[in-house]
């Protein structure tokens, strides 16, 4: 509860529609959102405006935005409980972002490590949008006065910038924005690449065998697990530093079955990698299949999906408009 308003605290989060979602995003983020939505006033968006900070094929972007919205629901985001919407449907994010752009200093934004990484990856096309990406993210959060922002560790610096901008606005004008807290899961259910288990599993990995997507078929999942890189050992013991491949599969099995790592070790004593991988494959198939089936049904009904997104955008806009009205006034813009 918020001590001042006595109401549920607000959470907001979002993902970019740049590819299908992976089991890493499901275990690391979506599953948490689904659990949080009942205890918080929750908003979840598909951040299509963030996606265009690097070049996108328009038809892909359009399709993927709907894919991701449907996947949120398939994973358990209930649009009658949470506000589910697409970022570009709520123009107030971009409007607030401009004002925040004029409050942020070039120097502080230049320190963002994600920009440094991404601009190295896209060296041929480093857009101003990529630079100012974290300001739009700050606007996503501040326009709803979110108290908590469930994100991965890699977004901590962006959250810190968001907090600084909120405080700066509140100080220069008058108290307006809630200063948000990051909400980072403690024991990260961090899933690693199946091919290079020292690296995080990524939806944009060039090697498809590294990543299990929530849209993968049963056969694809079994296959990817079967081919996952392990190491030259033979027994099933958890050692993330020395045997990251086996450790990653154990983590996946642990999440899918609820068996502890110690129980998994004893379950597989005397058995080899073949048996173990088969079990992991089956447990993952059992977890992903119902999500994929719900997704297929939701995605097939595009009218229904659009209606859900329309309702979500209306809810979101009502709130965002309210904040923006105050912000415009305090900034000194003439009211019509
Ligand atoms: N930058 C986030 C990521 O890559 C995505 C994002 C955009 C986001 N806006 C947000 C996350 C607002 C939380 C809140 O993961």
Q: Which residues line ligand 1 (CB under 6 A)?
A: 12-14, 16, 47, 50, 137, 140-141, 149, 151, 155
Name the region of 76 (left: φ>0; alpha: ψ -120 to 50; beta: rest).
left
Q: How far is the CA of 14 from the centre of ligand 1 (A)?
A: 5
Give tens-digit pLDDT for 6-39.
789 999 999 999 999 999 999 989 999 999 999 9
Band (pLDDT 50/70/90 cuts) for residue 189 is low
Asked about 118 being catalytic, the answer comes back as: yes
Helix pair angle (156-172, 113-121), 10° resolution: 130
Name the region of 332 (left: φ>0; alpha: ψ -120 to 50; beta: rest).
left
Whether residue 233 is predicted with pLDDT greater than 90 in this model: the reply is no
Whole-number pLDDT of residue 4: 59
Q: How far is the CA of 15 from the centre of ligand 1 (A)?
A: 6
Whole-number pLDDT of residue 283: 98
Contact 203, 21 (CB under 8 A): yes
C-alpha to C-alpha distances, 258 to 117, 184, 251, 253, 307, nearest whole angstrom? 36, 21, 10, 8, 36
Q: How far is the CA of 210 from the centre of ligand 1 (A)?
A: 23
Band (pLDDT 50/70/90 cuts) for residue 184 is confident
Whole-number pLDDT of residue 113: 94
User: For a substitution probing ligand 1, which of 14, 143, 149 has the most ligand atoms within 8 Å of its CB?
Assistant: 14
User: For a substitution probing ligand 1, which of 94, 151, 202, 316 has the most ligand atoms within 8 Å of its CB?
Assistant: 151
Q: Provide the sign of the torsion angle of the four alpha carbons 249, 251, 256, 262, taken in this order.
A: positive
- Cα separation, 39 vs 10, in Å, equals 9
- Cα separation, 29 vs 189, in Å, equals 9
Q: What is the 3-state secondary structure (H, E, C) of the chain?
A: CCCCCCCCCEEEEEECCCCCCEHHHHHHHHHHHHHHCCCCEEEEEECHHHHCCCCCCHHHHHHHHHHHHHHHHHHCCCCCCCEEEEHHHCCHHHHHHHHHHCCCCHHHHHCCHHHHHHHHHCCCCCCHHHHHHHHHHHHHHHCCCCCEEECCHHHHHHHHHHHHHHHHHHHHCCCCCCCCEEECCCCCCCCECCCCCCCECCCCCCCHHHCCECCCCHHHHHHHHHCCCCCCCCCCCCCCCCCHHHHHHHHHHHHHHCCCHHHHHHHCCCCCHHHHHHHHHHHHHHHHHHHHHHHHHHHHCHHHHHHHHHHHHHHHHHHHHHHHHHHHHHHCCCCC
Mean pLDDT of 217-222: 98
Q: How far is the CA of 13 from the centre of ligand 1 (A)?
A: 6
Q: How far is the CA of 79 from the centre of ligand 1 (A)?
A: 19
- Cα separation, 132 vs 219, in Å, equals 41
Domains (range + CATH), the chain: 10-189+301-331 (3.40.50.620), 208-296 (1.10.240.10)
- Residue nearest ligand 1's atom 8 by CA: 14
Structure tokens at 271: 């058995």
Q: Quick one: how far is CA 19 from the chain centroid?
A: 12
Asked about 329 being catalytic, the answer comes back as: no
Structure tokens at 206: 């060039």
Give tens-digit pLDDT for 273-301.
999 999 999 999 999 999 999 999 999 99
Asked about 200 being catalytic, the answer comes back as: yes
- Residue nearest ligand 1's atom 15 by CA: 15
Whether residue 87 is predicted with pLDDT greater than 60 in this model: the reply is yes
Whether residue 187 is predicted with pLDDT greater than 60 in this model: the reply is no
Contact 29, 15 (CB under 8 A): yes
- Residue nearest ligand 1's atom 14 by CA: 13
Mean per-residue pLDDT over the chain, rounded: 94
Percent of the chain with pLDDT over 70: 97
C-alpha to C-alpha distances, 234 to 164, 224, 275, nearest whole angstrom? 51, 19, 11
Give tens-digit pLDDT for 149-172.
999 888 999 999 999 999 999 999
Please identify, by atom number, the ligand 1 atom nearest to the C-alpha of residue 150: 13
User: For a substitution probing ligand 1, which of 33, 155, 181, 184 has the most ligand atoms within 8 Å of its CB?
Assistant: 155
Please identify, by atom number, the ligand 1 atom nearest to the C-alpha of residue 134: 1
């Amino acid at each position: 509860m918020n001590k001042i308003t006595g109401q549920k605290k607000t959470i907001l989060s979002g993902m970019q529609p740049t590819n299908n979602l992976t089991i890493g995003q499901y275990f690391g983020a979506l599953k948490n959102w689904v659990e949080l939505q009942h205890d918080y006033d929750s908003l979840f968006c598909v951040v299509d405006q963030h996606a265009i900070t690097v070049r996108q094929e328009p038809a892909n972007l359009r399709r993927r935005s709907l894919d991701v919205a449907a996947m949120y629901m398939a994973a358990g985001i209930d649009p009658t409980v949470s506000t589910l919407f697409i970022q570009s449907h709520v123009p107030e994010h971009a409007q607030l972002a401009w004002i925040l752009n004029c409050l942020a200093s070039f120097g502080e934004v230049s320190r963002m490590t994600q920009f440094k990484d991404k601009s190295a990856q896209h060296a041929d096309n480093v857009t101003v949008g990529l630079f100012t990406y974290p300001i739009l993210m700050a606007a996503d959060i501040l326009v709803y006065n979110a108290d908590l922002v469930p994100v991965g560790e890699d977004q901590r610096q962006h959250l810190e910038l968001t907090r600084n901008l909120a405080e700066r606005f509140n100080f220069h004008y008058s108290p307006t924005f809630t200063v948000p807290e990051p909400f980072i899961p403690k024991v990260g259910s961090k899933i690693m690449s199946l091919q290079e288990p020292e690296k995080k599993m990524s939806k944009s990995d060039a090697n498809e065998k590294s990543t299990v997507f929530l849209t993968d078929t049963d056969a694809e999942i079994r296959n990817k697990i079967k081919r996952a890189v392990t190491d030259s050992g033979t027994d099933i013991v958890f050692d993330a530093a020395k045997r990251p491949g086996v450790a990653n599969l154990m983590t996946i099995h642990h999440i899918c079955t609820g068996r502890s790592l110690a129980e998994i070790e004893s379950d597989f004593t005397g058995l080899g990698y073949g048996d173990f991988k088969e079990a992991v494959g089956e447990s993952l198939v059992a977890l992903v299949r119902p999500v994929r089936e719900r997704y297929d049904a939701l995605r097939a009904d595009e009218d229904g999906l659009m209606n859900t997104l329309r309702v979500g955008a209306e809810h979101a806009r009502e709130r965002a408009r309210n904040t923006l009205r105050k912000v415009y006034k305090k900034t000194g813009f003439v009211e019509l």
